[in-house]
Amino acid sequence: MSDDALAAAERSATSVLHAVLRSRWLRYAIFLGVLALVPAVFTRVPFYTMSVGVLMAIQAIAALGLIPLTGHAGQISLGQAAFFAISGYTSALLTTRWHTNALLAMIAGMALSAAVAYLVGTFIFRAQGQYLVLATLSFGLLVSYLANQLPLTGAADGIPGIPALAPFGFTISGDVDMYYLVALVLLIAVIVVDALLRSPVGKALTALGDSPVATAAAGVSIAGLRRNAFTLAAALSALAGSLYAHWSTYMDPGQAGILSSVQLLIIATIGGQRLVWGAPVGAFVVITFSEASKTLIPKVIPQATGNYEIVVYGIALIVILLFLPRGVGGGLIGLAGRLARAVRGREATAVD
Amino acid sequence: MSEFLTFTLTGLGTGTTYALVGLGVAMVFQVTGVINFAQGDFVMIGGLSFASFAEAGLPEPVAALLALLITTVVGALLNLLVIRPARRANRERLVILTIGASITLEGVALLVFGADSHFASAFTGGDPISIGGARLPRQYLWCALATVVAVVLMWLFLTRTRPGTAMRATAMDTDAARLMGISPARMSLLAFTLAAALGAIGGIVLTPLQPPDASVGIPFGLKAFTAAVIGGLSSPVGAVFGGLLVGLVEAYATGYISSDYKNTLTFGLLLLVLLIRPTGLLHRASVVRV
């Protein structure tokens, strides 16, 4: 290839990069394309299956609420799995015992989770500081212990036999159908949360994370803002929980465990807490890693159990936070921006 | 009535160790502004290594000293490897880092000690002591004694030595302390190391009463947070009071309801305290680090 052709290719690549960095609709379109390609790829690549794809999309929805809450408002929640479970169990109970319409059950689960979060948020944000992480830790442990003990939730046995979803008459049968449904929900959720972060409310939220004092001085109710971000995070996790319940047809107390909440925090942190893309990127990276370690670790260390996975999770979280504070997603975007600037700089010198 | 007295005494006995661990939480929070999620793991590591050494046949005092040493080294390493490299990070990133450290420690403990509980016999044999009709196993007295000794030593350190004074100064005003030539990074290291030592002592004296396994870190941490939060995260007296309260709630819940709901009730207690008075039950001031 001649130098001219190379330079032309480089220029067009840079302009595409610029366009992607500038236009959010282009980014949504690319995301839609990636989501649509997943079934074609996952059915052909080893150890990715469609059920892994569904799990990734569900976890991405559950982690998405942490972007505004943790990445912007600066509050950590260890209760995401609890809201996931509250809504999942609500869906399970309403559809198996009282044969409620699945969509109504889902709305009920989300409403219940959001109401609980709103109430907890109203009280907890009266004080400044990292109290949410403590409150959600105890709340999360409480919900997981109760799910294990109450006769209503089937105690340790959980609730089996949750019917599959049938939106608008289409019965969701199989992982591919479920994947398209969950991916669509994820796409809509990403666009909505992104729009929210761009709105004046979102700007206030970002300001709040940077300086609570300055934000309060600007006349914004920081307690109200934090409460609303927490409620949104709970509602999104609840949505994911109900989807999960109908997909797996089974809810068990393990879903409410504190490690599940930690995993969602890891997903948002590794993906990048500041941008909505952090949730899907993080879900892809973390679940790929966890699936890979399930198949690979026993080959390397025959007597290994799941314990190695926890150790590597913890270390990965620490290393990413120390060396890549904006996460994998944030790191990639930073790299793209720097690349585009470097090429532009070179062009500018060439013109001179 | 003697039943009630027994529950009260055992509750206060275990409560003293929760107080000890809670003091570690409050100390780290005061000096660094960070809630250390790995505090419960110090208790777990202290208890497990003590029990393992004792099971291996070492005399109990040697086992206890080794466990204390190992745990303080873990605390210092946690600070040097995880907290110090991120000292420019904001608080929520530091908190997430300690969460990562906590699950790492739990995983490592599972690999080193296995998933089973480990046991050690009570420090001194002999029948339970009778107090007003209540019968109290002697190990509870060791818990109370260890706590009193540790608290007195800590108090002497903080008020009578230069590093202790420097640490209090950092807790009061980090910037002013820095201007006086005190290194906040070194004080943070000291706080984590001491908190680990307090956690280890709690874990060691509790081992004969509650045989530890690798998963006890989070429940212990939560009890310690409860103790510290009841004291508003700032007052040592408050943390002690909070620890005793947690011990009592736990003992009454086990005695009168069912041991199944023991943890449910203590977790509920923290949530309740946080919802009613997030800044602590004891004092009116609501000035907390943002």
pLDDT of residue A170: 75
pLDDT of residue B77: 95
- A contacts of B105 (beta carbons < 8 Å): 314
Long-range CB contacts (within 8 A, 24+) of B264-269: B264/A142, B264/A145, B264/A146, B264/A149, B266/B219, B266/B222, B266/B223, B266/B226, B267/A138, B267/A141, B267/A142, B267/A145, B267/B222, B268/A138, B268/A142, B269/B226, B269/B245
Q: Are residues B271 and A212, on separate chains, in Cβ contact within 8 Å?
A: no
Q: Are residues B107 and A120, on separate chains, in Cβ contact within 8 Å?
A: no
Is this complex scored with an ipTM above 0.90? no
Q: Does B79 touch chain A (CB under 8 A)?
A: no
Most confident of B112-126, B139-153, B260-274: B139-153
- B contacts of A309 (beta carbons < 8 Å): 107
List B residues 135-164 in contact with A (Cβ-Cβ < 8 A): none
pLDDT of residue B233: 78
User: Helix or strand or coil: residue A47?
Assistant: coil
- Within a 13 Å sphere around the CA of A129, how many CA atoms are in the beta-carbon half? 21
DSSP state of A162: P
Nearest to A127 among B218, B271, B278 (CB): B278
Of A16 and A194, which is predicted with more confidence? Answer: A194
Of A306 and B262, which is predicted with more confidence? Answer: B262
- Asked, for residue B142, whether it belongs to a domain, the answer is yes
pLDDT at B286 over 80: no
Q: Are residues B107 and A139, on separate chains, in Cβ contact within 8 Å?
A: no
Chain A's closest residue to B83, CA to CA, is A322
- Tokens 């490897």 locate to B81
Q: Are residues B97 and A135, on separate chains, in Cβ contact within 8 Å?
A: no
Contact at 8 Å (CB) between A233 and A69? Answer: yes
How close B74 comes to chain A (CA, Å)?
A: 15
Contact at 8 Å (CB) between B84 and B185? Answer: yes
Characterize A179-196 residue by residue with b for buried, 16 or more Cβ atoms within 10 angstroms of its Cβ, and e for exposed: bbbbbebbbebbbebbeb
- Within a 13 Å sphere around the CA of A95, how many CA atoms are in the beta-carbon half? 30
pLDDT of residue A66: 93
pLDDT of residue B285: 47
- A contacts of B285 (beta carbons < 8 Å): none
Which residue range(s) make up the domain with A34?
3-351
Which residue range(s) make up the domain with B153?
2-114+135-276
pLDDT at A350 over 70: no
pLDDT at A274 over 70: yes
Q: Does B290 touch chain A (CB under 8 A)?
A: yes
CATH number at residue B258: 1.10.3470
Chain B's closest residue to A148, CA to CA, is B260
- Domains: count for chain B: 1
- B contacts of A212 (beta carbons < 8 Å): 290
Q: Does B235 touch chain A (CB under 8 A)?
A: no
- Domains: count for chain A: 1
User: Helix or strand or coil: residue B134?
Assistant: strand
